[in-house]
Structure 1
């Protein structure tokens, strides 16, 4: 452990010993002759006492010296020790959430039995569902996005600074050639397009950056929008002066949380550069004011920017909360293999509302009535390159409805694999005022669930499994009612 953690542990132990002996800080001060402020700093991990002071504490509290200085914690405080030893708090920038490590430890130590039981439960659940360091980091970034409504004004401003500095015309679609020239001329990059294709084991890797020679290796068969995004991310790393970064796209592994967070910042910068905020806002306003939803018009907008459908939908999750005050939304990415019965939720974002679904590890079956899955099935049976559709999803059990727009495309790197990108907007009075086409009779409304195992729809024609979770809950409710009846009788 480092010095700061040792201070924290000593402080926690001293506080626990003091409270076990029903001593206030004032009382401990009188007992030991040490000042109350000095003892308070020790308990909060700000100071570590010198040996003579530890000896005084040991003698007056009747605790062996070796026990006082030992890093071993009793069972109530043991989970805190595990957290400190794991270094997880060091790897996550708690300051992003306005939290100090010492404050977090302080909260935990004030109610050790209950809070540590909770921490132990979380650790056990994480182990049971194979929720490792990687998942924890990604979940932390997602929580950071959600806490900020996925809009970061400082990065938006940096994009405008970049555009002004390099005289880029954002009134028209940005090309990869334009960004490639900046990388070469301004940042001394060397770009090679033929190296990655020589290594079959690299699978779907699209780019690798070699920092020592400033060489960017790019897969030769990527399309124009993918190349533009890769170049825009590289520019972001340089213009934002990011040092701790990931070197492959998509990423393979990471060593620190900062690498994951900086990867998000670079991706955000790239999306904001390729799809300018003002341009997209104006076009979406035009779509929203129409009483009828015109699919061709919406698809035209998605193709107007030099961006993939995923980048376009991601950008919507930035713009809608900021420019339209639509914060109750979710973003989902599903993948599907031809003739496979499974659909995998591989990316998600939920803003300000407890949306369904969320990725789960319980091997349940996502609702086949979702448009997110339907466009995947439709595309897999056609010769088209993409498929767009929308629906109003009515969650009868929850009493809520979402307007869901979804686009499916072929995976450019994997044969017979497809992905769908969706955005869902909670339908309420506010959304009805902002989007005129919500009452368009051509938009289908479907009753949906979250997973088949939790769905109460009895006449579902595409059910994949019985509602066992729902049945179990219903059975337990009946048992509870009978037990209550017996209590009332006897």
Structure 2
């Protein structure tokens, strides 16, 4: 048993015995002759008393010595013991959010039954939705991003220092050959470009790094933008001196939370290197200054960097909150197979608050009026490499409007599979001051909802199923009203 666990268990038991006997810390101090501060440290699991002190407490509290030192907990404290022994607190990145483990344990100790019920509920929900440890880690990192408005100045500065140290001109398009040269010459990498393509079972795996020989294995199916991003991530791991890292892209599994966080840091560094903050900000200033939305200028901005549309949109979530103070936004990535009626939300990020639309884990149908789904349908029917569109989405139920920009591309690793990337900006007075083109009459305005099942737009031609959730809610409301009327009628 860990020493910390033994201290915590004894402290919890002492606190329970004391409160059961209606004793304050001051009262127990007077009774036992032990100082109040010392008893407080014992109860908080910071100190474990010597045998003579335990004997004194046992005698004064009229509790057998063996019972006090036993690690067996009664039914009220047993859930806390299970929680501590499960090591789940070690899995949760508490320090990332400024939380001390002792504070959390104190909360649990003060209301064990209620907190245990809460924890059990969370675990049941997690199991119901097959919420894995990896999913928990990823959700934690996403919360960390949202808490920091997805902007990390130290990483931005690291990119600028790196570019200066290795004479990388951030005003020009960064290429894979530029970065490969640094990996080989500075960090001793051996890059093999065709090895992975020999193994069909590897599927969409794009790279593997072998640390012992510093060999980077690549599939020959990746394009220039993907190759550049992989090289940029490898440079990030080396330049930032990150040792606890992932060795495949995309990841197969995480062994620790640090790996997840470090993977995010490396990806952020890569995005900031390939899409420099100053350069993208200048493009955005030109786009925002126009009285009409210039789709060609926006597409030109995407193509100005050696990056995929997804990397460009993700970079917008870093730059817009900091450089333009546009903090109310969401990022979505959908996948879709041609000739299918299914759309899957695979990635989302919400800054400032939980915006609509957002992930819905049930079998409900996402609103077909979303531009995110429209561009997917468009590209699945066309031969284009990139479909772009935008709209103003009006969520009448929420009273919110968003300017949503969306791009769709083909999935290079899956036949007849497509993905769309969207960024939505909450339309408020602040956004109206920053974007001159918001009154452009050519921008399509759509009344939308989250899912068909919850939608009250009755004349929608794109509706997939009836508004069953809404109907059920209305039915319950009607029953509620009648019950209230009957209560009032027969109460007089």
TM-score interval w.r.t. the shorter chain? Answer: over 0.9
Contact between 1:244 and 1:259, CA under 8 Å: does it hold in 2? yes
Quick one: distance in 2 between partners of 1:126 and 1:72? 28
Q: TM-score, normalised by structure 1?
A: 0.97
2:425 is aligned to 425
Quick one: distance in 2 between partners of 1:63 and 1:479? 56
Quick one: distance in 1 between partners of 2:355 and 2:378? 25
1:213 is aligned to 213
Give deviations 1:372-430, integer Å, cap 9, x for gaps: 01100110011111101000011111111110000000001111100000000111111
Quick one: distance in 2 between partners of 1:483 and 1:195? 71
Q: TM-score, normalised by structure 2?
A: 0.97
Quick one: distance in 1 between partners of 2:78 and 2:146? 31
Question: Do structure 1's residue 398 and structure 2's residue 398 form an aligned pair?
Answer: yes
Q: CA deviation at 1:31?
A: 1.8
Q: CA deviation at 1:18?
A: 1.5
Q: CA deviation at 1:55?
A: 3.0
Describe the shift of the 1:58–1:340 C-alpha distance in structure 2 as closer, same or farther (beyond 3 A): farther
Describe the shift of the 1:130–1:66 C-alpha distance in structure 2 as closer, same or farther (beyond 3 A): farther
Quick one: distance in 2 between partners of 1:161 and 1:272? 12
Runs of 4+ in structure 1 deviating by more than 4 angstroms, as ranges, are: none
Q: CA deviation at 1:78?
A: 3.6
Quick one: distance in 1 between partners of 2:468 and 2:304? 46
2:348 is aligned to 348
SS across alignment from 2:104: helix
Quick one: distance in 1 between partners of 2:431 and 2:103? 39
Give deviations 1:115-154, integer Å, cap 9, x for gaps: 3322222122112222221111111000000000000011
Q: CA deviation at 1:233?
A: 0.3
Give deviations 1:183-212, integer Å, cap 9, x for gaps: 111111111011101110000000001111
Describe the shift of the 1:320–1:36 C-alpha distance in structure 2 as closer, same or farther (beyond 3 A): same
Question: Do structure 1's residue 300 and structure 2's residue 300 form an aligned pair?
Answer: yes
1:100 is aligned to 100
Quick one: distance in 2 between partners of 1:31 and 1:65? 17
2:480 is aligned to 480
Q: CA deviation at 1:54?
A: 2.6
Quick one: distance in 2 between partners of 1:303 and 1:82? 54
For residues 81-100 of structure 1, the aligned pairs below 5 Å read 81-100=81-100
SS across alignment from 2:68: helix
2:120 is aligned to 120
Give deviations 1:206-258, integer Å, cap 9, x for gaps: 00011111111011110000000000000000111111111100000011000
SS across alignment from 2:334: strand
Describe the shift of the 1:363–1:69 C-alpha distance in structure 2 as closer, same or farther (beyond 3 A): farther
Quick one: distance in 2 between partners of 1:51 and 1:472? 64
SS across alignment from 2:284: helix
1:174 is aligned to 174
Q: CA deviation at 1:291?
A: 0.9
Return 5+ residue gaps in structure 1 as ranges: none
Quick one: distance in 2 between partners of 1:195 and 1:41? 59
Q: CA deviation at 1:88?
A: 2.5
1:3 is aligned to 3
Quick one: distance in 2 between partners of 1:219 and 1:278? 32
Contact between 2:146 and 2:351, CA under 8 Å: does it hold in 1? yes
Quick one: distance in 2 between partners of 1:239 and 1:381? 44
Q: CA deviation at 1:465?
A: 1.9
Give deviations 1:443-473, integer Å, cap 9, x for gaps: 0011111011111111111112222221222
Q: CA deviation at 1:9?
A: 2.6
Quick one: distance in 1 between partners of 2:79 and 2:365? 35
Contact between 1:283 and 1:301, CA under 8 Å: does it hold in 2? yes
Quick one: distance in 1 between partners of 2:74 and 2:301? 61
For residues 372-391 of structure 1, the aligned pairs below 5 Å read 372-391=372-391
For residues 241-280 of structure 1, the aligned pairs below 5 Å read 241-280=241-280
Q: Which moved more, 1:216-225 or 1:65-74?
A: 65-74
Describe the shift of the 1:136–1:78 C-alpha distance in structure 2 as closer, same or farther (beyond 3 A): farther
Q: CA deviation at 1:160?
A: 0.9
Quick one: distance in 2 between partners of 1:227 and 1:282? 26
Quick one: distance in 1 between partners of 2:286 and 2:80? 54
For residues 135-146 of structure 1, the aligned pairs below 5 Å read 135-146=135-146
* Count of matched residue positions in the alignment of Structure 1 and Structure 2: 490
Contact between 1:146 and 1:350, CA under 8 Å: does it hold in 2? yes
Contact between 1:8 and 1:102, CA under 8 Å: does it hold in 2? no
Quick one: distance in 2 between partners of 1:295 and 1:20? 70
1:65 is aligned to 65
SS across alignment from 1:280: helix
1:199 is aligned to 199
